[in-house]
Chains A and B, each alone.
Chain A
Amino acid sequence: MEALLAPFLTEPVGMVVAFVLTLMVFSYLLGDNPLFRLAQALFIGVGLGYGIVIVFHYVLIPRLSPLTTPWLLVGPPLLLGILLWFKLRPSWSRVGNVSVAFILGTGAALAIGGALFGTLVPQVRATLLSLDPADYPHVTGSNMAVDAGIIILGTVCALLSFYFRTPAPGRRVSLGAGLLRFAGRLGRYFIMVTFGALFANVVMSRISLLLGRIEFLMDTANVLLKWLGLG
């Protein structure tokens, strides 16, 4: 079998196929066309198939193998997994509610716990910065203090920008409401700067990807030219 597929398993063939598919995807720059759709469909199909194989080999087999998992630990999860299959039929879907409930419950607990102790608390703690330059290294003490101030101000204002309230009747606004309004407006500016930075990083990332594709095409072209004796 491998001898039969050997010609197709060599790198040049793979490169050629990838080269062609890449050009087919790039054809979208000229508009939607069947080549692009073909490449897109192939990508989805191959990726899905590859994923199914990987899941089977690296998830089901290891989990069901007594070598890796004791049967006592396999039984309940396996039962829950089988019950989950009943979701395929609407009339029997109620049977799989137990599995869904288990999944939702554990997922929610892990997500909430992780967010709480992995993100919220550490990040809140991170905003407790000292504005005293002396608390920072001598060289960059003042800079660090300013950075700390900016971080605190930006964090607080960004959070206050998400504070929504109904405006009080009349034109007179209390001092507290005015401060909140100002802080929220300032926080929106910080958020806009963040979005700008985010956009720039996304552009850089995509350019890197383009760069990689072009580089691939260049390399493949060289290989093909050499293979064809033209290079």
Chain B
Amino acid sequence: MIYCPKCGVPNLEDRKFCIQCGAALEPEKGQRCPMCGAINPPGNVFCDECQARLVPVFARPTGPLQMPPSLKGLSLPTKPVEEIEKTAPPPEPEIPETAPEPEASEVSKVSKEEEGEEGEEGEEEPGWLVSLRAKYGRAPAKAEEVVEETPAWLQELHEAPAEAAAPEAPDWLRELRRRAEEEVPAFEEKEKEEEKGAPPSGEEEEIPPWLAELRAEETREETAGIPSPAEAGETPPVEAPAEQEEVPDWLRSIREGGPPPEEAPPLAEAEEAAEELPDWLREIAPQAEEGIAVEEGEKEEEEVPPLIVPPAEAEEAAEELPDWLREIAPQAEEEIAVEEGEKEEEEEVPPLIVPPAEAEEAAEELPDWLREIAPPEEAPPAEVTSPAEAGVPEWLQGVTPGAEAPPPAEAEKEAPSWLQEISAVRETPVPEETAPAPEAEERMPSWLQELAPISEEAMPSAPPEEAPIPAEEGAEEGAAPAWLEELKTMEPAPFKEPPALAEAPAPPEEGVEEGVAEEIPPFPAGAEELAETTIPAWVMALRPPELEAGPAPSREEVIPEVMETSGLLAGIPGVLPAEPVIGVPHTLRPPTPMTVPGELALEAKLLGEVTAQERPPAVSIPKERGKRLMRQAGRLLLYLALIAAILIPYFFYTGLFEESVPPAPETEDFYRTIENLSPDSVVLVAFDYDPSLAAEMNLQAEALIHHLMKRGLKVMTISMYPSGPALAEDILRGAASVYGYQPAVDYINLGYLPNLPASLRAFAGLNPMASYTYEGTPASETPLGQRINRLSDFGLIVELAAGQDTLRWWIEQVGSRYPGLPMVAGVSASLDPYVRPYYETPGRRQLKGLLVGLPGAAQYEGLTGRTGRALDNLESQGLAHLTIVAVIVVGNIVYLVSRLGKGK
């Protein structure tokens, strides 16, 4: 039995949810789906039952990480395969324990789904994107695929510095590549240290210059207000000396306060933009290359260097950073603080969103491909404090929300197809929320779409009330690309289970008494806006009132505590099998009365009145006593009539059957057959009837035996009925006493022959005297028995049969074998139809003579001259027949008359 952790109700072991309150019973062996409550394996990203997301997007997978598919379409410069292998970044740090396991699979699943949805377009993934994806559980695009589709100008970024720059590659791109090569080792070391858990030492030293600049600007702002671009530009970052060369023109101009540089030819612009790339952006490119290397090599996870400037560095770098970039830094500082304060967690990439004002300026210098990335209608970035938007390179201008459309001609010429796709995204309005428009998603490359905010699924606990990133507020024109929006909304906070799961209590331990049901989690925020539906009255009536108020019963109320008082289990509560509880119904409370609405109540009342009405008095069925008496009387009369008909001749002389009845032909033949026997013949008489028919057959038997003995013929009797020998013996003795016959000399009773055709066949085939007589002496030893050796020695066989079987057996088994042996039969009147065909076979009759019932016996007695009981009984027989005929006739007349009367 499993006790519910919520209400304590015992449940069967195979149950997953409590039968009383519905709480989960099984321990969390995996991850429970917040939608349907099904238990999923730890590595699942989506629920197996309802396909709901189990792991938020930004959560780091703890289980076997399934690299998401690469984005298709847009791809940033990537490294060649060789360089990627060389610059393989170190593995990501360990995933903190608090991070739920499903994150990895969830993210990977999401990535897989998105990859599958997007088809198999050209996949070009920059290294920085790969690292981003790896960091947050996205499978980096395959380096091979990326490499295949990497535009030429992008591939040049990964070419060796010694190689002559392709005439197509801009200088800034080359610079990016060079810096990527230089900075990867440093970053790898930093990652290694983070994995080990040691806080990065010399953090300040390792702070990228751009971040330092950000911080520096911040501090300057704080101290002396909005610093002038000149001041911002004067204060170099920590690594300023080394990176002064790298300060982009736009940034420099910001610092100096000068106008942004004029648009140079594409190549020149690109070169200048490369030089003016902020460090944070510069690092993105190398990371993209690193990501590619990882994909091609070991598919190791990569970490995107946190694009979040440490607070100190951010302050320094903030002085020189444009306002749009400066606004990002504080937020980044906050995020860093959160990260550093907690366990080692990933650092999120701040949204690469540029203030609209600054974005416009920066858009001038941004490359076309990057310019098109940033739709101007996306969520606005942070406050715009500096008008140094002109300093934003063209390539970055596209990133800024509200940025003007990049030069279409030049941009489109250089922008690859994947980038052109993004241009469509710019044109589509992107809502303020992080989720990109579906149309935009369709146009956006896969890698961008993967970064599209899926926080709604991944963050079920993320309340919509969370304040957006400050940098985004106030954005008027344009919106950051989808991937930027997503990055902006990514929270460094660890994954939190939904309230339902978080509040699910663990199964109670033994002895722990818990049973109070927890309150239902609050409805998500914003639900107040939902219109309250009107529940029909009939539904309300069905609602059990017990749910309206009152907590769930405690376990003690439901299950009385039973403890053993003796034995090993004495004093231990809850150890006894709740066998009696099994029989306890689920609801221990008495059923609550249902509130019936008005209409139904009226109908119920009416029904009750109808049913409560007294039933009409049952119609008393008149007893058919009289009819029954009539039927019984009629039957009794018939019986009496028959008995009277039989007894009348006993008392009165009727004279109806005084004249002798002429004998039937079969009777005459029977008599003639016996008369024609030689005097020394031995006649075999079979008494094949039982005492039930003795009243009829004995008349024939007596007449026969008397006739045989009168003629001086030897008689042997046999019977296929067990009681036949006794009947035969009685008749033989009676006749023998009259005619002076001696047993064993003049007559022999051969006793019983098994009632089987085989026995008759054996009797007929073997020596008939191979048996004992009725007295118990061997028949073969008797004088009469010595005269018979086989059946053919008999002169006549007389079959006195009450059943057709024995008669047929005698005819078939004996008569067919000994056709010359005459055979006659005396049968009951009921066998007449069956036996007559054997007699009426012309030519060679099978039966020479036939006696049928009492009339036959009476006729036979008349022929023999013997006055026996048959003649005396013949009058009674006749009167009984007349009575029956009269009854039948009268009955049919009455029936016909009554039927005619009903017909009328």
Do A and B truly interact?
Answer: yes
On A, residues with C-beta under 8 Å from B are: 29, 47, 50-51, 54-55, 57-59, 61-62, 67-69, 106-107, 110-111, 113-115, 117-119, 122-123, 125-126, 129, 194, 197-198, 201-216, 218
Contact of A204 with B877 in the complex, beta carbons under 8 Å: yes
Q: Is the C-beta of B813 less than 8 angstroms from some C-beta in chain A?
A: yes
Cβ distance B54 to chain A, nearest Cβ, rounded Å: 64
- Contact status B761-A50, CB under 8 Å: no
Instruction: Find residues 876-894 in chain B having any chain A CB closer than 8 Å to their own CB.
Output: 876-877, 880-881, 884
Interface of A is mostly: helix
Name the one of A29, A68, A122 contacting B772, with C-beta atoms under 8 angstroms. A68
Q: Please give me the residue from chain B that is nearest to A121 by CB atom.
A: B816
Q: Is the CB of A211 within 8 A of B830?
A: no
Q: Which stretch, B574-582, B594-602, B789-797, B833-841, touches the partner chain A?
A: B833-841
Instruction: Give B residues with C-beta under 8 Å from A.
Output: 635-636, 639, 642-643, 646-647, 650, 692-696, 698, 722-723, 725, 751-754, 756-758, 761, 770-772, 776, 778, 780, 808-809, 811-813, 815-816, 828-833, 837-838, 840-844, 846, 852-855, 869, 873, 876-877, 880-881, 884
B722 touching A212 by the CB < 8 A rule? no
Known: A110-B757, A110-B761, A208-B877. A68 touches B778 (CB 8 A): yes
Q: Do B816 and A211 touch across chains, with their CB atoms under 8 A apart?
A: no
Query: A57-B751, A201-B832, A209-B696 provided; 15 other pairs, C-beta below 8 A?
Result: A59-B754, A107-B758, A110-B761, A110-B813, A114-B757, A126-B837, A198-B833, A204-B855, A210-B643, A211-B854, A211-B877, A211-B880, A212-B694, A213-B695, A218-B647
Q: Are A51 and B880 in contact (CB under 8 A)?
A: no
| A107 contact from B757, B838, B844, B877, Cβ within 8 A | B757
Q: List 21 A-B contacts (CB under 8 A).
A: A29-B635, A57-B751, A58-B725, A58-B753, A58-B771, A61-B772, A106-B758, A115-B812, A118-B811, A118-B816, A126-B837, A197-B833, A203-B884, A205-B829, A207-B877, A208-B695, A209-B693, A209-B696, A210-B646, A212-B698, A218-B647
A23: min CB distance to chain B, Å: 13
> Considering only CB atoms, which chain B residue lies closest to A135 in the complex?
B842
For the complex, what is the distance from the CA of A59 to the CA of B780, rounded to whole Å?
A: 16
Q: Which residue of chain B has the shortest Cβ distance to A117 in the bound complex?
A: B816
Q: Return chain B residues, CB-CB under 8 Å to A203.
A: 881, 884
Please name the residue on chain A nearest to B833 by beta carbon. A198
A153 to B816, CA, bound (A): 27
| Chain A neighbourhood of B869, CB < 8 A | 215
List chain A residues, Cβ under 8 A from B696: 205, 208-209, 212
Query: Which residue of B is nearest A73, CB measured?
Result: B766
| Residue in A110, A125, A194 with the greatest tally of chain B CB atoms within 10 Å | A110
Q: Is the CB of B873 within 8 A of A110?
A: no
**Cross-interface CB contact of B811 among A119, A206, A213, cutoff 8 Å:** A119
| Cross-chain contact B646 with A214 (CB below 8 angstroms) | yes
Instruction: Given A54-B722, A58-B771, check contact A126 B873 (CB 8 Å).
Output: no
Distance between Cα atoms of A1 and B213 in the complex (Å): 143
Contacts A54-B722, A55-B722, A209-B692; A202 near B816 (Cβ below 8 A)? no
Contact indicator A58/B646 (Cβ below 8 Å):
no
Secondary structure type dominating chain B contacts? helix
Chain B residues near A54: list those with CB within 8 A.
722-723, 725, 751-752
> Is the pair B756, A107 in contact by a Cβ cutoff of 8 Å?
yes
On whether the beta carbons of A204 and B829 are closer than 8 Å, the reply is yes
Contact of B778 among A67, A125, A194 (CB under 8 A): A67
Closest A residue to B810 by beta carbon equals: A118
Q: Pick the contact of A205: B770, B828, B842 (CB < 8 A).
A: B828
By a CB distance below 8 angstroms, the chain A residues around B828 are 205
Most buried by B among A62, A129, A211: A211
Known interface pairs A204-B877, A209-B693. Does A123 touch B841 (Cβ–Cβ under 8 Å)?
yes
Q: When the two chains form their complex, are residues A68 and B771 in contact, meaning their CB atoms are under 8 A apart?
A: yes
A122-B846 in contact (CB<8A): yes
Q: Name which residue of chain B comes closest to A110, CB basis.
A: B757
Task: List the A side residues contacting B751 at CB < 8 Å.
Answer: 54, 57-58
Interfacial chain A residues near B694, Cβ < 8 Å = 212
Indicate if the CB atoms of A201 and B815 lie closer than 8 Å: no
Determine how close the nearest CB of chain A comes to the CB of B232; give it in whole angstroms: 109
Complex contacts, A197 vs chain B, CB 8 Å: 832-833
Q: Please, which residues of chain B bring their CB within 8 A of the CB of A211?
A: 646, 695, 854, 873, 876-877, 880
Q: Which residues of A contact B832 (CB under 8 A)?
A: 197-198, 201
A216 to B833 CA separation, bound complex (whole angstroms): 29
C-alpha spacing A147/B846, complex, angstroms: 19
Contacts of A202 in B (CB 8 A): 829-830
Bound form: Cα–Cα A62–B779 in Å: 10
Contact, CB under 8 Å: A212 / B695: yes
Q: Which residues of A contact B837 (CB under 8 A)?
A: 123, 126
**Whole-angstrom distance between the alpha carbons of A51 and B854 in the complex?**
28
CB–CB B873/A201 < 8 A? no
Q: Which residues of A contact B635 (CB under 8 A)?
A: 29
Could you tell me the distance between the alpha carbons of A202 and B854 in the complex, rounded to whole angstroms? Answer: 12
Q: Is the CB of A62 within 8 A of B842?
A: no
Distance in Å from the Cβ of B161 to the closest Cβ of chain A? 99
Task: Tell me, rounded to whole Å, the shortest Cβ–Cβ distance linking B705 to chain A.
Answer: 18
**Contact in complex: A119, B808 (CB < 8 Å):** yes
